[in-house]
Amino acid sequence: MNLRRYWAILPLTFAALLSGCMTDSTGTTYSSSEARRIQQVSFGTVSELQYVTLEGTEGAVGTVAGAAIGGIAGSSVGGGRGSDIAAILGGVAGGVLGSRAEKQLTTQQGIEMTIRLDSGKYISVVQEVDPKVPLQVGDSVKILTQGNTTRVVRMR
């Protein structure tokens, strides 16, 4: 078995698996289950913006992919029982590192918006930054609420 070939494709496979886990939580993205549902609508003006960090996920994909890569790497060390032990240790270490890598790769830039509603009440909403629709203080916005999900979109 030629392990060098696997070493070349494993990091790419790992990155591809993790990118499939990333979700878009901007104000203009909906899941298919949110379509065709009534939303409560409010209007307001952005009074303050602050950039925040949206923590990434620590799911099974990073752990499993890291464990697989670590196990393969460890199995190539030594021979016999030493190789088996190295494969197990490599799998454990790879799982831990894979979980951390997943969290790092899925961390996103968010924005906390303080909004003065037309009613005079203030609210705050955090969502992922949407570079296609940047918000600024003073922008008129529409606040859409559906169950526990609220999103803010700039009025055009």
Phi, psi for 73 (deg, rounded to 5) = -65, -45
Report how far apart, in Å, the C-alpha atoms of 28 and of each of 62, 132, 154, 156 are.
28, 10, 10, 13
pLDDT on residue 90: 75
Across all residues in the chain, what is the average pLDDT? 77
Q: Tell me which DSSP letter residue 61 carries.
A: H
CB of 100 closer than 8 Å to CB of 117: no
- As a CATH number, domain 31-54+108-156 is 2.40.50.100
Residues of the chain with pLDDT under 70: 1-25, 27-28, 56-63, 67, 71, 73-74, 78-80, 82, 99-100, 102-104
In the block, residue with structure tokens 């999103």: 151
pLDDT on residue 78: 66
Residue boundaries of the structural domains of the chain: 1-23+56-106, 31-54+108-156
